[in-house]
């Protein structure tokens, strides 16, 4: 048979994840996308407790601050454009009230720390090796928060700079949680603001750094999922990109999610997800008249199916899905 596309070989994961395992996902918007998909399907996953992070230094900084149990205070914030912000956090944590900002930041960190201590899997997605550093202090920031470009220097990390911080960090993660397995991936989303060639150099740096980390720690501890390669080799067409030609289309994202789930999820968990997917599709159904008796009966029937799943799979936390159905009924 003639092959019309290159299929990327997926790794064999020694330890699969599922509903019996806690996981933490940190990194770029690709990690966010996969993590939100798993959360929506009721898996015990924490996603980006500091918000979306793109570069290896910021991801490492997040994990270090979780393990040291840093409590953020008002001195860690700065005020700009009417909001209090943190250079360690994504803009979704910013707000006009510093007390609420700090409460949100510290609550998410506390929750993530408990999860990290009990997790079997840590998924790390690097987006770029380019970093922004404050000229005044040299600090690598996770987000510039729309401050003037003149305040920052813009540099590409080297493989050595990445491994120098990540090798001891991996050792510390293992001390805190000896059962932890780490899965790295490189985001297939292109950072074209740096230029097409510089984007390729950036991705290559990330790939080489991850390869060095695997060589240092071994395949039993660290794995690599080839999301970047799947897009380059299997999805070689602009129809798999969004209109900005940098982010992925919904079809491409769904394809990679399927590949990811098939490679790393336990068989039982895949079957449970299939059943939950049917309920999620029912929730997305938009009737002409939400108050019509037939639609209300339909939602109640789906709720009963969910109640049956609770009995069938008592180890799954269906609370988020239950609330969504309850809201539909109350509406």
| DSSP string for 232-277 | III--SGGGB-TTSSSBPHHHHHHHHHHHHHHHB-HHHHHHHHHHH
Q: Is the pTM of this model over 0.95?
A: no
- Write down the pLDDT at residue 4: 63
Backbone φ and ψ for 265, nearest 5 degrees, come out as: -85, 140
Percent of the chain whose predicted confidence (pLDDT) is above 90: 69
Stretch 31-56: mean pLDDT: 95
Contact 248, 241 (CB under 8 A): yes
pLDDT in tens, 221-241: 999 999 999 998 888 887 887
Indicate if the pLDDT at residue 267 is higher than 90: yes
Close Cβ partners of 223 (under 8 Å, ≥ 6 residues apart): 11, 13, 181, 182, 183, 184, 214
Indicate if the pLDDT at residue 255 is higher than 70: yes
Q: Choose among 264, 68, 26: nearest CA to 175.
A: 68
- Write down the pLDDT at residue 192: 83
- Write down the pLDDT at residue 139: 94
Question: 129: pLDDT confidence band, cut at 50, 70 and 90?
Answer: very high
Sign of CA dihedral 273, 6, 122, 201: negative
Stretch 84-100: mean pLDDT: 97
Instruction: Give residue 282's Cα distance to chain centre.
Output: 26
- Write down the pLDDT at residue 1: 64
Contact 89, 142 (CB under 8 A): yes
pLDDT in tens, 280-315: 988 887 766 666 777 778 888 888 899 999 999 999
**Beta-bridge partner residues of 184:** 124, 224
Question: 103: pLDDT confidence band, cut at 50, 70 and 90?
Answer: very high
Indicate if the pLDDT at residue 137 is higher than 80: yes
Question: 29: pLDDT confidence band, cut at 50, 70 and 90?
Answer: confident
- Write down the pLDDT at residue 215: 96
- Write down the pLDDT at residue 329: 64
Helices (H), 22-132: 29-40, 56-67, 98-118
pLDDT in tens, 198-228: 999 999 999 999 999 999 998 889 999 999 9
Indicate if the pLDDT at residue 246 is higher than 80: no
Quote the mean pLDDT of the chain.
91
- Write down the pLDDT at residue 105: 98
């Amino acid at each position: 048979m003639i092959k019309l596309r290159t299929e990327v070989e997926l790794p064999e994961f020694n330890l699969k994840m599922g509903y019996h395992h806690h996981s933490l996902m940190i990194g770029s918007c690709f990690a966010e996308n996969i993590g939100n998909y798993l959360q929506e399907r009721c898996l015990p996953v924490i996603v980006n407790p500091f918000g979306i992070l793109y570069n290896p230094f910021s991801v490492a900084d997040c994990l270090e601050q979780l393990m040291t149990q840093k409590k953020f205070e008002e001195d860690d914030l700065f005020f700009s454009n009417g909001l209090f912000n943190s250079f360690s956090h994504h803009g979704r944590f910013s707000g006009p009230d510093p007390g609420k900002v700090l409460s949100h930041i510290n609550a998410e960190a506390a929750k993530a720390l408990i999860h990290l201590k009990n997790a079997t899997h840590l998924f790390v997605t690097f987006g770029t090796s380019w970093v922004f550093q404050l000229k005044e202090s040299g600090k690598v920031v996770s987000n510039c928060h729309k401050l003037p470009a003149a305040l920052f220097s813009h540099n590409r990390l080297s493989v050595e700079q990445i491994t120098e911080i990540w090798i001891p960090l991996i050792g510390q993660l293992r001390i805190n949680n000896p059962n932890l397995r780490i899965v790295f991936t490189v985001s297939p989303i292109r950072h074209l603001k740096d230029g097409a060639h510089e984007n390729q150099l950036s991705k290559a740096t990330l790939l080489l750094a991850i390869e060095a980390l695997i060589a240092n720690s071994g395949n039993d501890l660290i794995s690599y999922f080839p999301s970047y390669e799947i897009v380059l080799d299997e999805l070689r067409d602009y129809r798999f990109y969004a209109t900005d030609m940098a982010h992925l289309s919904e079809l491409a994202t769904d394809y990679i999610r399927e590949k990811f789930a098939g490679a790393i999820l336990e068989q039982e968990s895949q079957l449970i997800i299939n059943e939950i997917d049917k309920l999620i599709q029912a929730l997305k159904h938009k009737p002409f008249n939400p108050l019509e008796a037939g639609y209300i009966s339909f939602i109640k029937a789906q709720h009963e199916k969910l109640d049956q799943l609770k009995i069938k799979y008592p180890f799954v936390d269906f609370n988020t899905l239950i609330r969504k159905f309850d809201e539909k009924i109350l509406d």
